[in-house]
Amino acid sequence: MSDFDRILERSAQLLDGPATDARISTLLRSLPHIDPAQLTPWVRQQTQSASSDAVTPDELRLITSLIDLTSLSANDTPESVAALVRRAVSPEADLVRPALLPATAAVCVHADLVGAARVALDDAADAPVALAAVAGGFPHGRSPFAAKAAEVEYAVAAGADEIDIVIDRGALLSERYARVYDWVLAARRLVERGDGTRAHLKVILETGELPSYDSVFHAAIIALLAGADFVKTSTGKGQAGATPEAAAVLLQASAHWREETGETVGVKVSGGVRAVEQARAYLRLARVICGDSFVTPASLRFGASALLDDVLRTLEPLR
């Protein structure tokens, strides 16, 4: 049985049949309610604890290894993307002193620049950096299905290792849950390559534009039902980026999924993550909710551009 067939089988088992609005709604109603009055003070307590100890070089190395170094500007060029790749591969290349930081987990670029990023990564020779691309109507996710699908196919064919798509939030909020599920499922099939390999699929929920923590949790579970490898907070282009509370909800969705299925799925915190202290708070939440083993590039990422700058600033006096 293929991985994709296993996704369909697992989904049918959890939903007691094919994915429909009614079946998905029944599953969502069975999930725990997330009370903001309890979540907010608990998250505040955890994040305050994260900053109680002095930062260490090892912690800065860990944070660097979890970064998807991102550039999603309208004026990105093949040359700027190549420079981004070089920085991801060697974050301290411009420094005279010996390097202390590892490569970042990935670079993340627009779909049309995947080819340029692939060339730059291949030139770096065995660079341990994945190539991620936003695709499928980023950042709104509201393009016609054929256009979204074509963009995902293009990015995979051009050499992307990971694809970040966006859910249809309008469908989610109007309880057309099967429409959300169907798009993620389609994207999961589209990331498969002819040679039997596939790109990993990250699903952006744009948590800052969802009306409640329950809706964030529900969106994450729908994405996981449809085969997402990661659930991700934000595009960085919406009204609000990541928050510790939203990240905690996604981490709880990952923990719930592992309890239900035995599978570990990742969480990507993206949108406004600029400072080491923010990253330390998210690390604390991940460890408390999902365990120490969760804090690896395979299951936790920071989508960021400025975060690496702050890592370097924080590291300098610790050398």
Q: What pLDDT digit, counting tens, does each position of 143-184 carry?
A: 999 999 999 999 999 999 999 999 999 999 999 999 999 999
| Residue range 105-157, pLDDT digits in tens | 999 999 999 999 999 999 987 779 999 999 999 999 889 999 999 999 999 99
Tell me the whole-structure pTM to 2 decimals.
Answer: 0.96
pLDDT at 124: 87
Could you count the other beta carbons within 10 Å of the beta carbon of residue 155?
A: 30
Measure the CA–CA gap between 318 and 190, rounded to whole angstroms: 45
pLDDT of the residue at 98: 67
Q: What's residue 95's pLDDT?
A: 61
Domain range for residue 39?
Answer: 3-318
Q: How far apart are CA 34 and CA 200, in angstroms?
A: 29
**For the chain, percent of residues with pLDDT exceeding 90:** 88
Quick one: pLDDT at residue 20? 98
Q: In degrees rounded to 5, what are phi and psi of residue 130?
A: -80, 155
What is the average pLDDT value for the chain, to the nearest integer? 95
Look at residue 259 and tell me whether its pLDDT is greater than 90: yes
Number of H helices, E strands in the chain: 13, 8
- pLDDT in the model for residue 154: 98
Structure tokens, 36 = 């903001």
CATH of the domain at 173: 3.20.20.70
State the average pLDDT over residues 50-67.
Answer: 93
Q: Where is 18: in which H helix or E strand?
A: none
- pLDDT score at 202: 98
Q: Residue 16: what pLDDT? A: 97
* Mean pLDDT confidence for 15-25: 97
Q: Bigger pLDDT: 126 or 72? A: 72
Averaged pLDDT for residues 193-209: 95
Residues 6+ apart with CB under 8 A from 231: 202, 203, 205, 219, 220, 223, 224, 250, 253, 254, 265, 266, 267, 268
Q: How many domains does the chain have?
A: 1
What is the average per-residue pLDDT within 23-30? Answer: 98
> Quick one: which of 269, 209, 236, 251 has its CA closest to 34?
251
- Reduced to 3 states, what is the DSSP secondary structure of residue 156? helix
- Answer whether residue 252 shows pLDDT above 90: yes
pLDDT at 96 over 70: no
Please give the average per-residue pLDDT across 73-92, as a whole number.
96
Whether residue 97 is predicted with pLDDT greater than 70 in this model: the reply is no
Q: Residue 305: phi, psi to the nearest 5?
A: -125, -45
What pLDDT is recorded for position 142? 87
The predicted-structure confidence for 285-297, as pLDDT tens digits, reads as follows 999 999 999 999 9
Active site residues: 164, 232, 268
Peptide bond into 18 cis (omega under 30): no
* Position 155, amino acid: A
Region 212-223: mean pLDDT is 98
